[in-house]
Structure 1
């Protein structure tokens, strides 16, 4: 399974991002509407800003999804994400302590899962969202086996 190629997330993950963007935009807009109803001077500008933020996050959603990827190398897993703030994290197989699969309601409806990695370093916080359920399970099992074999040598 170690191939050195970059793997992207499922195109279905775009649905999760769109739903998340819509919900965030609606919550921001609802808060701004409360200020409009209360008659505050910044109510209408806040509503305008909330709408702009909602539209921008919707427009950027496909690009955000395409920016997420992972690579299995001989000694570590490399994870990347981000458009403006690009993040690349390398997680050595021997340092993986826990590999967890999470499924939110929208992701579960689309047959997707998120793989989370816990290491000794608290700041690592690596998670690969948008994996197809079968791929997430297979990758978790593979990485757990690698992590156990690499820890033995420490």
Structure 2
């Protein structure tokens, strides 16, 4: 039995000779917009409450909301930059995460069908998501933040590769 030594955790999430395709930076803008839709009314309500009560301690609520907004403004773009995918000969790799990293490997032969989704916020930012459905019910194989033309191209390519792999079984 031969061993090439210990494998670093970075090597687990960064296979050799892989060229990652990043998602659109518009995904960060979409996620920050959704956060603002939630946080701005909370911030305004907290400020109004603090002004009306006149209690200094009440100002901690809007300060906490503001701190969450600043933290999200720093975190979300980093998270989006960490998302990527790579097409290999026999499978699709999807990576995401900064602190809690995830690498999903989806063999083309296991794909049953491929969906393209775009909600109202996604459409307003010109992005879409590709969702892969496999034989495993709990597979989280989705790529958010793709430009619509890239989502359509990826959907068609993955569907044809999946059919080719199934035909070979």
TM-score range, shorter chain: 0.7 to 0.9
Find the counterpart in structure 1 of residue 24 from structure 2: 10
Find the counterpart in structure 2 of residue 107 from structure 1: 122
**TM-score, normalising length: structure 2:** 0.76
Matched, 1:60 2:75: yes
Following superposition, the deviation at residue 46 of structure 1 comes to 4.4
Distance 1:24 1:81, change over 3 A: farther
Matched, 1:73 2:88: yes
Deviations 1:69-98 (A, max 9, x none): 001011110001111111111011111112
| Aligned residue among 79, 95, 102 for 2:110 | 95
Counterpart mapping for 1:1-154 below 5 A: 4-26=18-40, 29=43, 45-154=60-169
Following superposition, the deviation at residue 50 of structure 1 comes to 2.8
Contact 1:21 1:58 survives alignment (8 Å) = no
Long gaps (5+) in structure 2: 1-16
- How many pairs are equivalent? 152
State the distance in 2 between where 1:33 and 1:98 align: 49
Structure 1, 76-85 or 105-114: larger mean CA deviation: 105-114
Q: RMSD over aligned Cα, in angstroms?
A: 2.8
Long gaps (5+) in structure 1: none
Structure (1 or 2) with the greater strand fraction? 1
Structure 1, 21-30 or 141-150: larger mean CA deviation: 21-30
State the distance in 2 between where 1:120 and 1:144 align: 14
**TM-score, normalising length: structure 1:** 0.82
Structure 1, 48-57 or 89-98: larger mean CA deviation: 48-57
State the distance in 1 between where 2:102 and 2:18 align: 18
Distance 1:45 1:7, change over 3 A: same
Contact 1:24 1:54 survives alignment (8 Å) = no
